[in-house]
Structure 1
Amino acid sequence: MEAAIRALAEEFGSRSEAVRYALLRTYKERLIEQAKADAARVAADPDDQAEMLAIQRFMGVAE
């Protein structure tokens, strides 16, 4: 772990910036994973699909 922090600190200028970068990157990756899981769940649910289509039609972006 120290080697990783040192390497990131060299790239980002300080240990604080290295830790900040690592935290934000990890958080972003978790959000993306959650979004993928949510998309898969919605894609597998016919009721959710129908609701999304109804909303798209209401907004005029689907026929």
Structure 2
Amino acid sequence: MAVLTIELDPTTEQVLARLTADGRSATDVVREAIRLADRLRRLEQARADAERLGKDPDDLAEVRAIRRELGDPDAR
């Protein structure tokens, strides 16, 4: 297990105080924040990938072909 030492600015100290006011430890709050940051980064990457694929002519052609094969009347 790694040990992390960080220096907090006053604003972050206030946020940490609010987040620990319910009795949670700073360690638990930081662990949760790291996991949330990771999840947000993965979601953003997935969104960017979907946007890129949604503009890729080869992928769009493949989607249209599959839709035609499935009998989708709106496939162009």
TM value normalised by structure 2: 0.60
Whichever of the two has the greater Rg, that structure is 2
Task: Name the Cα RMSD after superposition.
Answer: 2.2
More helix by share: 1
Give structure 1 regions of 4+ aligned residues with deviation exceeding 4 angstroms.
Answer: none
Corresponding pairs, count: 56
Structure 1 unmatched ranges of 5 or more: none
Q: Which has the higher contact order (CA 8 A, sep 6+)?
A: 1
TM value normalised by structure 1: 0.70
- Identical aligned residues as a percent: 36
Structure 2 unmatched ranges of 5 or more: 1-11, 71-76
Q: What SS does the aligned partner of 2:21 have?
A: helix
